Homo-oligomer: A and B are copies of this chain.
């Protein structure tokens, strides 16, 4: 109810402020007796952590997970799994000025208006550190899905940064999951196309050098989703994915399949014709993005998430302050911020997709007569 939970059967509750004791997550509804690969969970956290490359914030956090409950050795017990990560490099002083002024396009003003209080340092709950719990839970969700659907996978990558676009038809390896993943991880931007990745990196470095920031688009592709996931009418799979993606900090848009560009097509162009192959019903095109009538049809689930440029820039801006509503200015003197969130947002998008899929999958098992 109060906004810090996601999912229904596989339900997560994140907690923690960016400069408090810890951030973490409670996962309720993870099936019992599953042997987890704990290193794989930590691996995802490391993909998300700050300081991983020259284009990410220099905040120095190891982000090592600590298991408080629900797992014995590496086996799930069926009870709630609580995993935390301590906040170490907090530097409370870095942020002393931010509570005097409302930083433009940050949540300072809205949090203050809603709660009449704000964490004294850092972004509190609006910090990207909150997503640590999502990444942990997503990594576990993926392992649970693979117990039921071994060939399942979701890969996200950066499709654009500012005005640098990755034309996905320029890349030829989409059908080899491992290759896509390896090529994506080789790139510090997380774009599998080396040449485009290089241009994106230059774009980010350039913005950073000017104290400015850039946004972009992440695309996510889910392979081998079983047919039948998603619940009409309000819990359509794409509706849950949209909510999942829009709940990520800085996300401003969501597309499934043809999305906005599909609005300029004719019905006769857009319809995905069915055919039959290897005992499966398939579609020739995939403008539907793997979901029809809110239910997965077995094709690749393709979605896009738009991220705005980071709000923290190192330029002077007009604003007002909590104590003086007349005009003031704001310019951070220093700080540890990403010039572009997209590279680190890739594992977060993947995590949110895993969480949607695992929840739909468990629900589907509950209601099918012959599950």
With A160-B263, A252-B262, A287-B105 already in contact, the answer to whether A23 and B69 are too (CB < 8 A) is yes
Q: A22-B69, A77-B119 are in contact. Are A306 and B113 (CB under 8 A)?
A: no
Stretch at the interface among A46-54, A122-130, A167-175: A122-130
Extra pairs beyond A20-B72, A24-B68, A273-B317 (7, CB < 8 Å):
A2-B11, A3-B233, A22-B68, A109-B297, A113-B297, A215-B263, A265-B309
- Kindly provide the distance from the CB of A261 to the nearest chain B CB, expressed in whole angstroms: 8
SS class, residues of chain A in contact with chain B? mixed
Residues of chain B contacted by A29 (CB below 8 angstroms):
1-2, 367
Q: List 19 A-B contacts (CB under 8 A).
A: A3-B231, A3-B233, A5-B11, A5-B234, A21-B68, A68-B84, A77-B124, A78-B367, A104-B271, A110-B296, A114-B227, A213-B267, A214-B266, A239-B244, A239-B246, A253-B255, A260-B304, A271-B311, A284-B318
| CB closest chain-B residue, reference A254 | B254
For A, the interface residue count at a CB cutoff of 8 angstroms equals: 156
A181: interface (CB < 8 Å): no
CB <8 Å contact, A217 and B260: yes
Residue of B nearest to A313 (CB): B267
Interface residues of A in 119-177 (CB under 8 A from B): 119-120, 124-126, 130, 147, 160, 162-163
Q: A28-B13, A115-B33, A231-B3 are in contact. Are A371 and B371 (CB under 8 A)?
A: yes
Verify B308–A287 contact, CB threshold 8 A. Answer: yes
Task: Determine whether the beta carbon of A365 is less than 8 Å from that of B365.
Answer: yes
Closest Cβ–Cβ distance, residue A275 to chain B (whole Å): 7
The complex is assembled from copies of this chain, and their number is 4
Question: A240 near B: Cβ within 8 Å?
Answer: yes
CB distance from A129 to the nearest CB of B (A): 11
Does chain B have a CB within 8 A of A64? no
In the complex, which residue of chain B has the Cβ closest to the Cβ of A227?
Answer: B113
Which of A285-319 touch B at CB < 8 Å? 287-289, 291-297, 304, 306-313, 315, 317-319
In contact, A270 and B3 (Cβ under 8 angstroms): no
At the interface, yes or no: A75 with Cβ under 8 Å from chain B?
A: yes
Q: How far is the CA of A365 from the CA of B365 in the complex (A)?
A: 6
**Contact between chains at A109 and B253 (CB < 8 Å):** no
- In this assembly, does A223 line the interface, its C-beta being within 8 Å of a C-beta of chain B? no
Q: Is the CB of B162 within 8 A of A110?
A: no
